[in-house]
Amino acid sequence: MFHSKRHGEILRLLGEQGTVTIASLAERLGVSLETVRRDVKPLTDDGIVVKMHGAIGLPAMTAEAPFERRMRENAEAKRIIARMVAATIRDGESIMLDTGTTTSFLARELLGHRRLTVVTNSSDIARTLATVNGNRVYMAGGELRSDSGAAFGISAIEFVSRFSVTHAIISAGAIDASVGVMDYDLAEAEFARMVLSRGQRSMVITDNSKFGRQGLIQVCGLSGFAELATDAEPPHEIAEALAAAGTRLVVARGEADGVAGR
């Protein structure tokens, strides 16, 4: 494949996936890692793509889209995941949720539950579950983001650190086989890390579009939580890394197909 044709294929793959690893590009293009790095260099020099840790991405994809737009992206997949996870939570239990579109979908699926104790930094989740069905909702304080309406900072982390809950659940910005769960914002990553440490059960929920992506900040490795819930089988290298880490993978197949887990 000629150099210019490889550039076109690289940009096509980025258009489909947003971010892609150098190793994946080498495999897809049938060339060495060094050849891919040489091909990518003029694209990064011109600002067409952005270089990240072991990966490249389109400039518009290296930061998350506004919250409302992300709520519309892969909405059905997120709803299927949320419905599956909600079915594993019982009335009267406690749950801690970080801010994220998939966790917001989960909050909506929990509207049929009763007497939940909910701890969150998300005003969207707090509004959804407060004052209904005998729920108690604890909202972390801190700097409120205009985009997501979520609170961040030291005070938010200190607040949730006082709680021990049955279910600690976060959403993910990106999942990589070697790095683990990643996010695009330092404060969000630090808060999510604290959430995972506060539950008897720790879970990451994400739709399959986040697999193989590279965020900017590591939340934790794949051994840093007990379960990953998603809507489709992850790529082979991520599935292998999860198994090696001892992390349970649960795949929501939709209402007709049921749930698969291992």
Tell me: the pLDDT tens digits for 69-99?
666 777 899 999 999 999 999 999 999 999 9
Token readout for 202 is 């720790």
Give the 3-state secondary structure percentages of the chain, helix then strand then coil, rounded to 5. 40, 25, 35
Q: Give the Cβ contact number of residue 42 at 10 Å.
A: 12
Nearest to 260 by CA among 218, 228, 221: 228
Residue 152 DSSP label: E
Of the given ranges (17-31, 119-133, 178-192), which has the lowest mean pLDDT?
Answer: 17-31
Q: Residue 54 — pLDDT band, cuts 50, 70, 90? A: confident
What is the band of 65 on the pLDDT scale with cuts at 50, 70, 90? low
Give the tens place of pLDDT for each residue, 17-46: 777 888 888 888 889 988 998 888 888 888
Which of 5-19, 65-79, 196-210 is the least confident region? 65-79
Q: Is the pLDDT of residue 62 over 60?
A: no
175 strand-pairing partners: 181, 211
Instruction: Tell me the torsion sign for CA atoms 207, 212, 215, 218.
Output: positive
Continuous segment of H or E residues that includes residue 142: none
pTM: 0.73
